[in-house]
Amino acid sequence: PTYALLIDRDYTIRFSNGVARQFFGQCEGKKCYALLHGRNRPCISCPPFGLLTDKATKVHEWLNVRSNTAFRSHSYPFADRDGGLMVLQIGINITAGVRARHALDLSEQRYRGIAENLTWGLALVDTKKTLITLNSKMEQWFGPQAVKGALVDDLLQHKCCGDDGAGCLLDSVLTEKE
């Protein structure tokens, strides 16, 4: 669903499409800051109206707090019949994507919390045996060498065999597994 608004320099909405009217009600003649954001004066920072000075397309995301709907708006300079500059704003409803991203963030925080509170080390390793991520217990066990991008073989070599690695049985085990 995409809304379209044509907004004059004084923030008055001159045109709205049917989708805009579905989202926001009657639009024409109202100030955009009142209709879209429930404000009684223009927003301090209004990305769409920046284009009136630099004539560059503006893209921003915003939340309609009354309907709890998120939008990504694309604003373009638009010349009226007299050559006056207006703002043509096209908005896409991105609520589902924002909610999915928020749910994913919460899930990641929950599982990160579980991983961080384990009494044993946990690491995610790719097919090249490179650490992608690890919990604090792994960092505690393996020390400063345990960082993203480190090779598991190098960590084990250092932890099990020490700095000199002389006579380490781990060499033969790692070689056999490869």
Residues 6+ apart with CB under 8 A from 29: 12, 13
Q: State the pTM of this model.
A: 0.61
Residue 175 scores a pLDDT above 70: no
Q: How buried is 24 (Cβ within 10 angstroms: 0-12 exposed, 13-18 middle, 19+ buried)?
A: buried
Residue in 76, 92, 90, 86 with CA at minimum distance from that of residue 11? 86
The type of residue at 118 is L
pLDDT band at 164 (very low <50, low <70, confident <90, very high): low
Residue 144 CA to residue 63 CA, distance in Å, equals 43
Residue 95 CA to residue 23 CA, distance in Å, equals 12
Element housing 171 (H / E) = helix 170-177
**What pLDDT was estimated at residue 119?**
85
pLDDT, tens only, 53-85: 777 889 989 888 888 899 999 999 998 888 888
pLDDT, tens only, 2-11: 999 999 999 9
Residue 120 scores a pLDDT above 90: no
Strands 13-16, 2-7: pairing kind: antiparallel
Residue 3 CA to residue 48 CA, distance in Å, equals 15
pLDDT, tens only, 90-119: 999 999 888 888 889 899 889 888 888 888
Between 107 and 48, the more confident residue is 107
Residue 170 scores a pLDDT above 60: no
